[in-house]
Amino acid sequence: MNGMINYHNNNHHDSSNYDEKMQRTQEYIDSLEEERRKILVFQRELPLCLELVTQAIETCKQQLSSGTTVTEYNFHGQSECSEQTSTDGPVLEEFIPIKRALSSDDDEQQSRKPKKSNISNGNDTDNKSNNNDKAASSKKSDWLRSVQLWNQTPDPPQKEDSPKKVSVVEVKRNGSSGGAFHPFKKEKSIGANAGKLDVPKSGDKTSIPAAEASSTEETGGTSGGGGGGNGGSKKEEKEGQSQRKSRRCWSPELHKRFLLALQQLGGAHVATPKQIRELMKVDGLTNDEVKSHLQKYRLHNRRPSPSIHSNNNPQAPQFVVVGGIWMPPPEYAAMAATTGSGEASGGANSNGIYAPIPTLPPPFQDPSASLKQKQRYKQLHSDDRGSNSGGGVHSNSHSTSSSTDTATTSPNY
DNA sequence: TTAAAAATAT
DNA sequence: AATATTTTTA
Provide the b/e sequence for A282-310 (b: ≥16 CB within 10 Å): bebbbeebbeebbeebeebbebeeeeeee
Determine contact, residues A362/A402, Cβ cutoff 8 Å: yes
Residues A393, A374: Cα–Cα separation, whole Å: 18
Residues A197, A389: Cα–Cα separation, whole Å: 45
Residues A160, A158: Cα–Cα separation, whole Å: 6
User: Which residues lie across from A322 on neighbouring strands?
Assistant: A325
- Domain assignments of chain A as residue spans, ordered by start: 14-66, 252-301
Q: What is the CA A132 to chain-centroid distance, rounded? A: 36
Residue A38: its H or E element: helix A16-41
Residue A7 reports pLDDT greater than 70: no
Which nucleotide minimizes the distance between its C1' and the CA of A247? Answer: B6
Residue A272 reports pLDDT greater than 70: yes
Q: Is the CB of A381 under 7 A from strand C?
A: no
Residue A252 reports pLDDT greater than 80: yes
At A127-173, the pLDDT tens digits run: 333 333 333 333 333 332 333 322 333 333 333 333 333 333 333 33
Give me the pLDDT at residue A42, please. 66
Give me the pLDDT at residue A46, please. 67
CA separation, residue A72 to residues A19, A58, A88, A95, A149 (Å): 14, 17, 12, 22, 38
User: Which pLDDT band, with edges at 50, 70 and 90, does A40 fall under?
Assistant: low
Which nucleotide minimizes the distance between its C1' and the CA of A275? Answer: C1
CATH label, A252-301, candidates 3.10.180.10, 3.30.360.10, 1.10.10.60, 3.40.1710.10: 1.10.10.60
At A176-226, the pLDDT tens digits run: 333 333 333 333 333 333 334 444 433 333 333 333 333 333 333 333 333
Q: Is the CB of A302 under 7 A from strand B?
A: no
Nucleotides of C under 7 A from a protein CB: 1-4, 7-10
Determine contact, residues A263/A325, Cβ cutoff 8 Å: yes
The chain-wide mean pLDDT, for chain A, equals: 48
How many angstroms is C1' of B5 away from CA of A289? 11
- Please name which of A114, A117, A173, A109 lies closest in space to residue A147, comparing C-alpha atoms: A173
Q: Is the CB of A374 under 7 A from strand C?
A: no
Cβ atoms within 10 Å of A21's Cβ, excluding its own: 19
User: What is the 8-class DSSP label of residue A244?
Assistant: P
Residue A326 reports pLDDT greater than 70: no
Q: Is the CB of A291 under 7 A from strand B?
A: yes
